[in-house]
Amino acid sequence: AAKEAGRNGYHFHSPEMNRKAHERMELEMSLRQALERDEFFLEFQPIINVGGDCLVGAEALVRWQHPAQGRVMPGTFIPLAESSGLIIPLGEWVLRKACEKMKEWRDAGLPPVKLSVNISGRQFEQRNFTALVDEVLKETGVDARALQFELTETSLMKDAGATVSALYKLKELDLRIVVDDFGTGYSSLAYLKNFPIDHIKIDRSFVMDICDDPDDRSIVEAIVAMANKLNLDVVAEGVETREQRDLLLDLGCHEMQGFLFHRPLPEEKFVELLRDVRLCTLPAAL
Ligand code: C2E
Ligand code: MG
Ligand code: MG
Ligand code: MG
């Protein structure tokens, strides 16, 4: 029918649109099976304290090894997982896998590195989310202080009341909370005061042009100053050049993550790094 319409000059759905919609549907179907087929895996991107020249921890980033399409990046499938609800089981898989890896590494005698896990707003809205987190920590024997959650401003602002109580429950477990992609959420800054937040991560979009765009530079400067006043740690993501690195240091931002230091690493490479890296803090109890 689409072809006929095309021939007559009326096409409500262009072949291109049909193809896209079809691809999306297929991707969603294979996403459903991907968990059972164990097609997801994690990569780990180191977070460095550049001033102190030590490893703060790493961010766990999910990847999908699609049987036909090869590696699919989260920018493609996370939105799909969110709209289809699959983010709930996928997010649980990521959390559990990150904790299992921490346990494996610790059992292998590697230094107790901290991992940051991205949590989607949809997961966070689950009633029993804190219970799930508690359960995974107990199952894997991981110390909650070795785990931190990255939540975007947008997901934090959805339902401020529910968010505050969920965050306090996570704090009771001793988890650290990071605001991811800070500065991109069009949100009130009041939440920084009202929510138990430990850390903000300056979005890559501000870091990108920091050397050329005085406005971006001022924004980063203001974020760092505010973080210092509020006693929040601050980390910059997407650092790609030495110039960005040097400028960030000048502005008082010491923690950085980006291709300049390391790309997200496959587990073997990350473990290699762990073998001879210096961790920034080694809490005695961990
Ligand atoms: P994000 O949390 O802001 O993660 C950082 C993204 O920036 C990663 O992309 C990382 O590879 C990329 N990146 C790091 N350093 C640089 C750099 O120097 N330059 C550039 N150009 N990019 C850099 P990735 O892995 O494709 O992830 C994209 C987004 O997908 C993440 O953004 C996060 O929002 C989401 N995501 C990834 N893993 C998960 C997950 O397990 N759960 C959920 N809910 N979301 C996830
Ligand atoms: Mg993140
Ligand atoms: Mg980020
Ligand atoms: Mg980002």
CA atoms of 51 and 246, how far apart (whole Å): 10
The minimum-distance atom of ligand 1 relative to the CA of 240 is 18
Low-confidence ranges of the chain (pLDDT < 50): 1-6, 285-286
**pTM flag (> 0.90):** yes
Ion ligand 4 contact residues with beta carbon within 5 A: 181, 204
Residues with Cβ within 6 A of ligand 1?
Answer: 45, 61-62, 73-75, 78, 91, 94, 118, 120, 150, 180-181, 204, 237-240, 257-259, 264
How open is the CA angle 66-70-71, to the nearest 5 degrees?
85
Q: Which residue's CA is minimally distant from atom 3 of ligand 1?
A: 181
Ligand nearest to the Cα of 238, by number:
1
Residue entry with tokens 């901290």: 114
So what's the pLDDT on residue 24? Answer: 84
Q: Which residue's CA is minimally distant from atom 27 of ligand 1?
A: 74
pLDDT tens digit sequence for 11-37: 566 888 788 888 888 888 899 999 999
CA atoms of 15 and 82, how far apart (whole Å): 27
CA dihedral sign of residues 267, 130, 147, 205 = positive
- Cα 107 to middle of ligand 1, angstroms: 28
So what's the pLDDT on residue 45? Answer: 98
Question: Which conformational region is residue 49 in: left (phi greater than 0), alpha (psi within -120 to 50 degrees), or beta?
Answer: beta
So what's the pLDDT on residue 1? Answer: 44
206-212 long-range contacts, CB within 8 A, separation 24+: 207/236, 207/237, 207/238, 207/239, 207/244, 207/248, 207/258, 208/238, 208/240, 210/244, 210/247, 210/248, 211/241, 211/243, 211/244, 211/247
So what's the pLDDT on residue 18? Answer: 86
Q: What is the DSSP letter of 151?
A: E
So what's the pLDDT on residue 16? Answer: 82
Q: What is the DSSP letter of 48?
A: E
Q: Which helix (H) or strand (E) holds 97?
A: helix 87-107
So what's the pLDDT on residue 88? Answer: 96
